[in-house]
């Protein structure tokens, strides 16, 4: 059958930010067996989407970014409004450790709490229990601000500023032939998702199968992937990271509206797909102070 390539093929007619050529040189990783992170089901080997290899430039480190006092990970308990959700929805996996106390903010005094992997918001006005808890749009805001913090590790060849350059409309791919909306499984096992809140036909991005399996785990995302995580913002990119003393690890990264997903084949099989620490990065970047002062 005709292969539908998930690599970028659409060029926007309007001017867009320059992306360094080495980051857009596409490579095709060898097929790998992908084990879903929650159910443990092993998928057939598939060819991962073409990704943009990192440059050999110096990795950006978190060392120069400090965490404000009162937001040290694990120093505060999970807030009363969030404790049941945290226990039921694999909170350590989805959110990590709490950072600071729960507090009320925004219009109507919305209850929120920051965690390593995001900001959890309580929306009691929602009738559906699965929609009462929501991750904030921290990933989108970090990308909007082009924050020069590393993504996916203590040091990384990718920053949120790089993700901003990958978020441009010109890197979205066209839908497969006959696509009528929703999402579509492509021939290589990835899933095409249009960049539209109603999933109407139009250009979008391919989500690799291991990310798609994670997004559809109701034990992690009870409100469904579109509500809980949002639309994919970027194509998949290959990134070089350091994790503690381990350097030179190659992982895959894809940004969504509410989180950034990473795939590290060297992690234990049940944790090869994870949410990046966008909550920690938001706090490090002064986002909490910016929000409080706005």
Residue 23, CA distances (Å) to 18, 110, 145, 166, 225 in order:
11, 40, 20, 9, 28
Neighbouring-strand partners of residue 246: 243
What does the pLDDT read at residue 226?
A: 95
Residue 161 phi, psi (nearest 5): -65, -40
SS3 86: helix
Instruction: Indicate the burial class of 30 (C-beta count within 10 angstroms; 0-12, 13-18, 19 or more).
Output: exposed
What does the pLDDT read at residue 144?
A: 96
pLDDT tens per residue across span 186-197: 999 999 999 999
b/e sequence 222-243, b meaning 16+ C-beta within 10 Å:
bbebbbbbbbbbbbbbbbbbbb
What does the pLDDT read at residue 74?
A: 76
Q: Which residues of the chain have pLDDT under 70?
A: 1-66, 68-69, 106-108, 289-294
What does the pLDDT read at residue 129?
A: 79
Sheet holding 246-255, edge to edge: 60-61, 155-156, 237-243, 246-255, 260-263, 273-275
Does the pTM of the predicted model rise above 0.85? no
Task: Count other C-beta atoms under 10 Å from residue 27's C-beta.
Answer: 10
What does the pLDDT read at residue 28?
A: 33
Neighbouring-strand partners of residue 199: none
What does the pLDDT read at residue 7?
A: 42
Which pair of tokens denotes residue 75? Answer: 């120093």
Which pair of tokens denotes residue 78? Answer: 């999970």
What does the pLDDT read at residue 11?
A: 31
Instruction: Indicate the burial class of 65 (C-beta count within 10 angstroms; 0-12, 13-18, 19 or more).
Output: middle
């Amino acid at each position: 059958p005709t292969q539908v390539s998930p690599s970028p093929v659409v060029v926007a007619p309007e001017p867009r930010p320059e992306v360094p050529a080495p980051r857009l040189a596409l490579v095709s990783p060898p097929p790998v067996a992908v084990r879903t992170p929650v159910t443990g089901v092993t998928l057939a080997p598939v060819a991962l989407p073409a990704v943009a290899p990192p440059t050999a430039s110096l990795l950006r480190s978190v060392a120069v970014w400090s965490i404000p006092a009162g937001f040290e990970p694990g120093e505060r308990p999970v807030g009363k409004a969030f404790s049941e959700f945290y226990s039921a929805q694999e909170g350590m996996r989805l959110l990590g450790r709490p950072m600071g106390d729960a507090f009320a903010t925004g219009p109507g005094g919305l209850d929120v709490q920051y965690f390593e992997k995001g900001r959890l918001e309580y929306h009691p006005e929602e009738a559906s229990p699965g929609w009462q808890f929501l991750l904030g749009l921290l990933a989108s805001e970090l990308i909007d601000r082009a924050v020069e913090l590393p993504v996916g590790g203590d040091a990384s060849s990718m920053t949120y500023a790089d993700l901003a350059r990958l978020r441009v409309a010109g890197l979205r791919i066209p839908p497969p032939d006959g696509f009528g909306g929703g999402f579509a499984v492509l021939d290589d096992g990835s899933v095409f998702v249009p960049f539209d809140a109603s999933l109407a036909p139009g250009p979008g991005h391919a989500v690799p199968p291991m990310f798609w399996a994670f997004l559809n785990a109701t034990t992690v995302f009870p409100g469904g992937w579109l509500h809980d995580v949002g639309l994919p913002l970027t194509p998949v990119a290959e990134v070089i990271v350091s994790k503690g003393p381990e350097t030179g690890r190659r992982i895959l990264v894809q940004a969504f509206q509410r989180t950034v997903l990473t795939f590290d084949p060297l992690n234990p099989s049940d944790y090869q797909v994870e949410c990046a620490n966008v909550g920690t990065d938001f706090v490090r970047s002064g986002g909490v102070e910016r929000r409080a002062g706005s």
